[in-house]
Amino acid sequence: MEKSSPPAFVIRDMETMRVISDPIRAQIFEALLHQAQTVRQVAEKLGMSASKLYYHFNLLEKFGFIRVQETRQVGNLIEKIYAVTSPTIDVDPDLFSFPSGEHNEQILTIIRDTIDATREDLLRSLQARLYALEQGQPPKPRRVVLNRLRSNLSDEQAARLLNRIEELLKEFEQSDEKESQDNQPYSLMIAFYPSFYYPAESHSGNSEE
Protein backbone atom coordinates (compact mmCIF):
# COMPACT_ATOMS: atom_id res chain seq x y z
CA MET A 1 0.00 0.00 0.00
CA GLU A 2 1.40 3.36 -1.04
CA LYS A 3 2.19 5.73 1.82
CA SER A 4 0.13 8.94 1.67
CA SER A 5 1.87 12.31 1.82
CA PRO A 6 1.25 14.57 4.83
CA PRO A 7 -1.11 17.53 4.27
CA ALA A 8 0.43 20.76 3.05
CA PHE A 9 1.71 23.25 5.60
CA VAL A 10 -0.54 26.32 5.24
CA ILE A 11 0.87 29.78 5.99
CA ARG A 12 -1.86 31.95 7.50
CA ASP A 13 -0.01 34.99 8.86
CA MET A 14 2.73 37.38 7.79
CA GLU A 15 5.07 36.45 10.64
CA THR A 16 5.17 32.82 9.51
CA MET A 17 5.60 33.95 5.90
CA ARG A 18 8.61 36.06 6.83
CA VAL A 19 10.22 33.09 8.59
CA ILE A 20 10.27 30.84 5.52
CA SER A 21 11.01 33.73 3.11
CA ASP A 22 14.44 34.28 4.64
CA PRO A 23 17.11 33.12 2.12
CA ILE A 24 19.03 30.96 4.61
CA ARG A 25 15.93 29.36 6.12
CA ALA A 26 14.52 28.64 2.66
CA GLN A 27 17.73 26.78 1.78
CA ILE A 28 17.64 24.83 5.06
CA PHE A 29 14.06 23.75 4.37
CA GLU A 30 14.95 22.61 0.85
CA ALA A 31 18.00 20.70 2.12
CA LEU A 32 15.74 18.74 4.49
CA LEU A 33 13.02 17.95 1.95
CA HIS A 34 14.17 14.41 1.11
CA GLN A 35 16.33 13.43 4.03
CA ALA A 36 16.32 14.09 7.77
CA GLN A 37 19.64 15.64 8.78
CA THR A 38 21.48 17.33 11.61
CA VAL A 39 22.40 21.01 11.67
CA ARG A 40 26.00 20.08 10.93
CA GLN A 41 25.06 17.97 7.90
CA VAL A 42 22.96 20.78 6.42
CA ALA A 43 25.73 23.28 7.14
CA GLU A 44 28.18 21.14 5.16
CA LYS A 45 25.77 21.00 2.21
CA LEU A 46 25.28 24.76 2.22
CA GLY A 47 28.95 25.57 2.77
CA MET A 48 28.19 27.42 6.00
CA SER A 49 29.23 27.23 9.62
CA ALA A 50 26.88 25.15 11.79
CA SER A 51 27.02 27.81 14.50
CA LYS A 52 25.34 30.26 12.11
CA LEU A 53 22.43 27.91 11.44
CA TYR A 54 21.17 27.02 14.93
CA TYR A 55 19.14 30.23 15.20
CA HIS A 56 17.47 29.54 11.86
CA PHE A 57 16.74 25.90 12.74
CA ASN A 58 15.14 27.03 16.00
CA LEU A 59 12.87 29.49 14.18
CA LEU A 60 11.83 26.92 11.59
CA GLU A 61 11.01 24.46 14.36
CA LYS A 62 9.17 27.08 16.43
CA PHE A 63 6.89 27.97 13.51
CA GLY A 64 6.25 24.35 12.57
CA PHE A 65 8.16 24.02 9.30
CA ILE A 66 10.52 21.37 10.67
CA ARG A 67 10.54 18.98 13.64
CA VAL A 68 13.03 16.85 15.53
CA GLN A 69 12.63 13.36 14.08
CA GLU A 70 15.08 11.69 16.43
CA THR A 71 18.03 12.35 18.70
CA ARG A 72 21.31 10.52 19.12
CA GLN A 73 24.20 10.59 21.55
CA VAL A 74 27.46 11.96 20.14
CA GLY A 75 30.11 11.97 22.84
CA ASN A 76 28.75 14.09 25.67
CA LEU A 77 26.22 15.85 23.44
CA ILE A 78 22.71 15.05 22.26
CA GLU A 79 22.46 15.62 18.50
CA LYS A 80 19.09 16.39 16.94
CA ILE A 81 18.05 15.08 13.54
CA TYR A 82 15.52 17.33 11.81
CA ALA A 83 12.90 16.62 9.15
CA VAL A 84 10.28 18.78 7.42
CA THR A 85 6.74 18.53 8.77
CA SER A 86 5.39 18.61 5.21
CA PRO A 87 7.17 18.81 1.84
CA THR A 88 4.48 21.14 0.51
CA ILE A 89 3.84 24.73 1.60
CA ASP A 90 0.67 26.61 0.65
CA VAL A 91 -0.26 30.21 1.37
CA ASP A 92 -3.76 31.10 2.54
CA PRO A 93 -5.19 33.43 -0.18
CA ASP A 94 -6.76 35.58 2.55
CA LEU A 95 -3.26 36.51 3.68
CA PHE A 96 -2.98 38.85 0.70
CA SER A 97 -6.53 40.20 0.91
CA PHE A 98 -6.08 43.51 2.71
CA PRO A 99 -6.91 47.19 2.08
CA SER A 100 -4.62 49.14 -0.23
CA GLY A 101 -1.45 50.21 1.53
CA GLU A 102 -1.77 47.80 4.45
CA HIS A 103 1.19 45.44 4.99
CA ASN A 104 3.06 46.95 2.01
CA GLU A 105 6.38 46.74 3.83
CA GLN A 106 5.85 43.06 4.68
CA ILE A 107 4.98 42.21 1.09
CA LEU A 108 8.04 44.05 -0.21
CA THR A 109 10.20 42.13 2.27
CA ILE A 110 8.75 38.78 1.20
CA ILE A 111 9.28 39.55 -2.51
CA ARG A 112 12.86 40.65 -1.89
CA ASP A 113 13.67 37.67 0.32
CA THR A 114 12.19 35.18 -2.16
CA ILE A 115 14.34 36.60 -4.96
CA ASP A 116 17.37 36.70 -2.65
CA ALA A 117 16.84 33.04 -1.69
CA THR A 118 16.85 32.05 -5.36
CA ARG A 119 19.99 34.10 -6.01
CA GLU A 120 21.84 32.58 -3.04
CA ASP A 121 20.79 29.06 -4.01
CA LEU A 122 21.92 29.52 -7.61
CA LEU A 123 25.26 31.08 -6.64
CA ARG A 124 25.94 28.33 -4.10
CA SER A 125 25.06 25.67 -6.69
CA LEU A 126 27.46 27.13 -9.26
CA GLN A 127 30.27 27.44 -6.70
CA ALA A 128 29.69 23.94 -5.29
CA ARG A 129 29.69 22.43 -8.79
CA LEU A 130 32.94 24.23 -9.68
CA TYR A 131 34.51 22.89 -6.48
CA ALA A 132 33.35 19.35 -7.31
CA LEU A 133 34.90 19.58 -10.77
CA GLU A 134 38.16 20.85 -9.28
CA GLN A 135 38.14 17.80 -6.99
CA GLY A 136 38.00 15.48 -10.00
CA GLN A 137 34.29 14.75 -10.44
CA PRO A 138 33.43 14.02 -14.09
CA PRO A 139 31.74 16.84 -16.00
CA LYS A 140 28.08 16.34 -16.81
CA PRO A 141 26.72 19.42 -18.58
CA ARG A 142 23.24 20.52 -17.50
CA ARG A 143 21.30 23.54 -18.74
CA VAL A 144 20.59 26.53 -16.55
CA VAL A 145 17.81 28.85 -17.74
CA LEU A 146 17.85 32.40 -16.39
CA ASN A 147 15.82 34.94 -18.30
CA ARG A 148 13.52 37.92 -17.95
CA LEU A 149 10.91 38.63 -20.61
CA ARG A 150 8.08 41.07 -21.23
CA SER A 151 5.12 40.64 -23.55
CA ASN A 152 1.78 42.31 -24.17
CA LEU A 153 -1.06 39.82 -23.63
CA SER A 154 -4.82 39.98 -23.71
CA ASP A 155 -6.65 38.77 -20.60
CA GLU A 156 -7.56 35.59 -22.45
CA GLN A 157 -3.95 34.94 -23.50
CA ALA A 158 -2.72 35.59 -19.96
CA ALA A 159 -5.29 33.17 -18.53
CA ARG A 160 -4.31 30.42 -20.99
CA LEU A 161 -0.61 30.93 -20.30
CA LEU A 162 -1.18 30.88 -16.55
CA ASN A 163 -3.05 27.57 -16.85
CA ARG A 164 -0.09 26.08 -18.73
CA ILE A 165 2.34 27.40 -16.11
CA GLU A 166 0.25 25.85 -13.33
CA GLU A 167 0.24 22.51 -15.18
CA LEU A 168 4.04 22.63 -15.49
CA LEU A 169 4.36 23.47 -11.79
CA LYS A 170 2.15 20.51 -10.91
CA GLU A 171 4.25 18.25 -13.15
CA PHE A 172 7.43 19.55 -11.51
CA GLU A 173 6.08 18.85 -8.02
CA GLN A 174 4.72 15.41 -8.89
CA SER A 175 8.04 14.39 -10.45
CA ASP A 176 9.74 14.89 -7.08
CA GLU A 177 11.72 11.84 -5.97
CA LYS A 178 14.26 11.08 -3.30
CA GLU A 179 17.81 12.19 -3.86
CA SER A 180 20.08 9.50 -5.29
CA GLN A 181 23.08 9.14 -7.54
CA ASP A 182 20.73 9.09 -10.53
CA ASN A 183 18.51 12.00 -9.49
CA GLN A 184 19.77 15.57 -9.43
CA PRO A 185 17.87 18.19 -7.36
CA TYR A 186 16.51 21.04 -9.47
CA SER A 187 15.05 24.38 -8.37
CA LEU A 188 12.36 26.36 -10.15
CA MET A 189 11.18 29.92 -9.57
CA ILE A 190 8.45 31.59 -11.61
CA ALA A 191 7.17 35.14 -11.41
CA PHE A 192 4.21 35.84 -13.69
CA TYR A 193 2.40 39.11 -13.06
CA PRO A 194 0.77 42.09 -14.79
CA SER A 195 3.27 44.93 -15.06
CA PHE A 196 1.85 48.40 -14.48
CA TYR A 197 3.27 51.90 -14.97
CA TYR A 198 2.14 55.10 -13.31
CA PRO A 199 0.08 57.31 -15.62
CA ALA A 200 2.00 60.34 -16.88
CA GLU A 201 -0.38 62.82 -15.26
CA SER A 202 0.25 61.36 -11.79
CA HIS A 203 3.66 63.06 -11.67
CA SER A 204 3.00 66.10 -13.85
CA GLY A 205 2.13 68.31 -10.89
CA ASN A 206 5.41 67.48 -9.12
CA SER A 207 7.79 68.50 -11.88
CA GLU A 208 10.07 71.42 -11.26
CA GLU A 209 10.62 74.25 -13.74
For the chain, the structural domain boundaries read 9-143
- Picking from 31, 76, 86, the residue whose alpha carbon sits closest to that of residue 56 is 31
Its pTM stands at: 0.72
Contact 33, 85 (CB under 8 A): no
pLDDT in tens, 86-110: 998 888 887 766 555 556 677 787 7
Query: At 18, is the pLDDT very low, low, confident or very high (cuts 50, 70, 90)?
Result: confident
CATH entry 1.25.10.10 includes domain 9-143:
no
pLDDT in tens, 125-176: 999 999 889 989 888 888 888 888 999 999 999 999 999 999 998 898 887 7
pLDDT at 63 over 70: yes
pLDDT score recorded for residue 91 = 85
- DSSP secondary structure of 24-42: HHHHHHHHTSSS-B-HHHH
Question: Which segment of 11-15, 135-139, 198-202 scores lowest on mean pLDDT?
Answer: 198-202
For residues 26 and 19, give the distance between their C-alpha atoms in angstroms, rounded to a whole number: 9
Contact 66, 60 (CB under 8 A): yes
